[in-house]
Structure 1
Amino acid sequence: MAKGKVGEYLREQRLASKLSLRQLADLAGVSNPYLSQIERGLRKPSADVLQQIAKALRISSEQLYVQAGILDPREGLEGATETAILGDPRLTERQKQSLLDVYTSFLALNSGEGAARPTEAPSTERE
């Protein structure tokens, strides 16, 4: 992710919504200094914080995830898996990141040679 890309995008969306930094911080439930640091590219917000900000701005959280580099806009339907993980309030940030790491590693593994042939599980039938 380019430094500040999500911050610049957030600032544009905030200004388009005619909200001050303080107003958006209050609506999103984050501190004013923290939001300012995000906009200036000094902090990288978590998926939960992005979701809160998106709700306050009335934009899709997926847009912010793409801007933050969490989701790849070219993934199409595959991006739905990441979005579901990131949007699940029952998971902690650490659990979300762990699931995304495992999911990404499986995708990378399957994109290599021989991925077209699924491996067979050992037979459990008795002869």
Structure 2
Amino acid sequence: MTKGQAQAKISEAVSKFEIEFMGRGPKQIRTLIIQDLIIVRLKGFLSQSEQKLADNSQGVELLKKIRVMLFESARNYLEVLIKEVVDVHIISTHSDVSTKTGEKIIVITVAENLEDRFDK
């Protein structure tokens, strides 16, 4: 498998996760593998009601809390999906949402340099 193929499969897995556990998938998704990091950037994943909720600071705080709780409750499933693609121990998974841009970033730290594994 090439690096590009692995990145595409991770994007598919994260999109599946977002649809199943967060209620909807992103409009765009991009995955980068950089040594022992997997970085996933999702755009356009907030629903219209979430965008409306983010119009004020209390709504932003509530939205972020809900998204964090949902993500944390399903993190193990996401890690299983990622491990099926890269077959490496996952050390940690981090996520943050920007209500300003409607983007989400997921950073996954793994136990080895993934770039060494791919066909050149």
- What TM-score does the superposition give when structure 2 sets the normalisation length? 0.31
Which is higher, the Rg of structure 1 or of structure 2?
1
With a CA cutoff of 8 Å and minimum separation of 6, indicate the structure with the bigger relative contact order.
2
The structure with more helix, counted as a fraction of residues: 1
Whose strand proportion is higher, 1 or 2?
2
